[in-house]
Amino acid sequence: MSEPILEMRRVSKSFFSIKALRDVDLTVYAGEIHALMGENGAGKSTLMKILSGAYRPDPGSEIRIDGQPVQISGPLGGRAAGIAIIYQELSLAPNLSVAENIYLGREVSRGGLLAREAMQAGVGPILARLGADFTPQTQVANLSMGQRQLVEIARALHARSRILIMDEPTTALSAGESERLFALIRQLRAEGLAIIYISHRMDEVYALGDRVTVLRDGTLVGSLDKADIRADTIVRMMVGRDVSSFYKKEHDPRNDPNARSGAPVLAAVDIADGRRVKGCSLTVHAGEVVGLAGLVGAGRTELAHLIIGAAPMISGHVEIDGRAASIRTPGEALDAGIAYLTEDRKALGLFLDMSCLDNINLAVLGRDAKFGGILDRDKARDRAKRAFAGLGIRAANVGVPAGGLSGGNQQKVLLSRLLAIGPKILILDEPTRGVDVGAKSEIYSIIDNLAKSGTAVLVISSDLPEIIGICDRVIVMRAGHIAGQIRRDATSPLNQEEIMALATGTEQLDA
């Protein structure tokens, strides 16, 4: 390789008495995709914020670009050094046009007025280079998430950035949008950009990464060249244990003669919403983990919303323990014993400014009331502490705001709220989206223990290895219908090929 475009040497960062980074080194070359991996809290974001100028490193840290030491003062200093960062939460102004967003902070004006035509002309060639299917005049609010990603990349290229940092760029993208993004990233690599790619998804790292650097607990564990990139090696570096422990199912309904006897705990019978869900039926038994798979847009989340009363159904009904149940609202679903974990924990699940204690106890406030409506804070605190211990929630104490926790710990706080209800049926929508591999393993263990205790669990997931690893049976949706199902048994384990065949319509399978 040629000389590196970026060298970060002995980079440390302290927040008061907490050492977030300890003597971390990172070397990146032009024309490579360098994956940066580690659990939430490992220090990835802190390291990148130092590189982009959002944080100032501790004394003794050194950053070199093209072999020359640089001092990066603030985000403008990062931009001047040729560094651009695209955060997981995109930083675009939806009320402005594409051109205005790309020029934001560097607007062109004439006579005190914005020169919109000049800005539109300035970004046109870049959008053409990226193959954008929208114009500089298009308002960002009218773009899809994949198109907005293109605007962020166009802004970085327009600023003549040479080092591009991408933080979980596919979190909100469909499979098709992700593939188009991957093609663009490869194109930018071929054009000589250095790309630092942060992701929890192993398949993306396999597909894109030229090298991988792993952090753990604020320290550098090591780097791997492409030939050495393997899931078991990366996981061992990240969490200190083998990947085989990820999907270790202790509970197996095949060994429980009563697991599927009698009526199922949950049944959806020919339910439809008149739009996305078109006459779907499914069952889940006590102690069973059932996966609901399918391509984006197949109607999985919409089906769950019909079951819990979050959307009105035009036909069909839901049965609990073999009896028809009238469920018109999520509150009535809770009363009936059905708890639902939303796929969007930040917008629809947690109250980020509230403490973990209050988030965990939110659904059982009435149960703890005493003296005609006064909350029993001691009981609530005991429940929160038990949840912290039982689910391994890592935070200073139960009183810290939920918004300050890592993604995996936020998910476990939300799970704790649902488990406090004591549901007989638990519906989990993308339960490990945006969480690191260590937290994933812990959530899988929680799901397995719930099944062991007799809870009926329905898991909606786009992660096929996850579905295969934790589920006893998989129901596959396609275009609003149930396409078929596959059952795990002693001679025929679940496999991705059969699931994708059903999801794409290339094969019909009956359970």
Co-location of 431 and 496 in the same domain: yes
Query: According to the model, what pLDDT value does residue 302 have?
Result: 95
> pLDDT tens, 361-372?
988 877 776 666
Q: What is the pLDDT of residue 508?
A: 45
Distance CA 121, CA 136 (A): 8
58 and 95 belong to one structural domain: yes
* Total tally of structural domains belonging to the chain: 2
Final residue in a domain of this structure, among 202, 217, 242: 242
End-to-end CA distance of the chain: 53
Examine the domain organization and report whether 297 and 316 are in the same domain. Answer: yes
- What 3-state class would DSSP assign to 276? coil
pLDDT in tens, 215-233: 988 999 999 999 998 877 8
* DSSP strand pairing (315-320 vs 33-37): unpaired
Strands (E), 2-92: 6-15, 18-28, 33-37, 62-65, 68-69, 83-86
Of 242, 275, 299, the one marking the end of a domain is 242
**28 and 173 in one domain?**
yes
Q: How far apart are CA 153 and CA 311, in angstroms?
A: 37
Q: Which domain holds residue 131?
A: 6-242
248 found inside a domain: no
| Within-domain flag for 247 | no
257 and 355 part of one domain = yes
**What is each CA distance from 491 to 60, 152, 199, 288, in whole angstroms?**
59, 49, 35, 19
Residue 45 domain-assigned (yes or no): yes
Does residue 216 sit in the same domain as residue 283? no
pLDDT of 399: 92
Domain match, 302 and 231 both: no
Q: And the tokens for 457? A: 């669990």
pTM attached to this predicted model = 0.62
Query: Do residues 315 and 362 share a domain?
Result: yes
Rg (CA), the chain: 25
Instruction: Decide if 509 is inside a domain.
Output: no
Question: Residues 511, 473: contact at Cβ < 8 Å?
Answer: yes
Residue 272 lies in a domain: yes
Cβ neighbours around 416 below 10 Å, total: 22
Q: Could you tell me the strand order of the sheet in which 18-28 lies?
A: 18-28, 6-15, 62-65, 68-69
**Nearest Cα to 266, choosing from 144, 413, 129, 425?**
425
40: helix, strand or coil: coil
Q: Would residue 145 count as lying in a domain? A: yes
pLDDT at 491: 64
pLDDT at 31: 95
Six-digit token pair at 459? 């898991």
| Same domain, residue pair 333 and 370 | yes
1 in a structural domain: no
Determine the 3-state secondary structure of 407 from DSSP. Answer: helix
Q: Are residues 82 and 230 in the same domain?
A: yes
CATH number at residue 381: 3.40.50.300
Q: Which of 207, 222, 242 is where one domain is finished?
A: 242
Give yes or no: residues 262 and 384 share one domain.
yes
Residue 511 resides in a domain: no
322 and 392 in a common domain: yes
- β-pairing, 33-37 with 18-28? unpaired
Coil/strand/helix, residue 58: coil
Check residue 56 and report its DSSP letter: P
111 dihedral zone (left: phi>0; alpha: psi -120 to 50; beta): left
Q: Quick one: residue 454, left, alpha or beta (phi over 0 = left, psi -120 to 50 = alpha)?
A: left
User: Half-sphere exposure of residue 192, counting CA atoms within 13 Å on the CB side?
Assistant: 6
Per-residue model confidence (pLDDT) at position 11: 97
> Which segments of the chain have a pLDDT < 70?
1, 40, 89, 172, 239-248, 250-263, 369-373, 490-492, 506-511
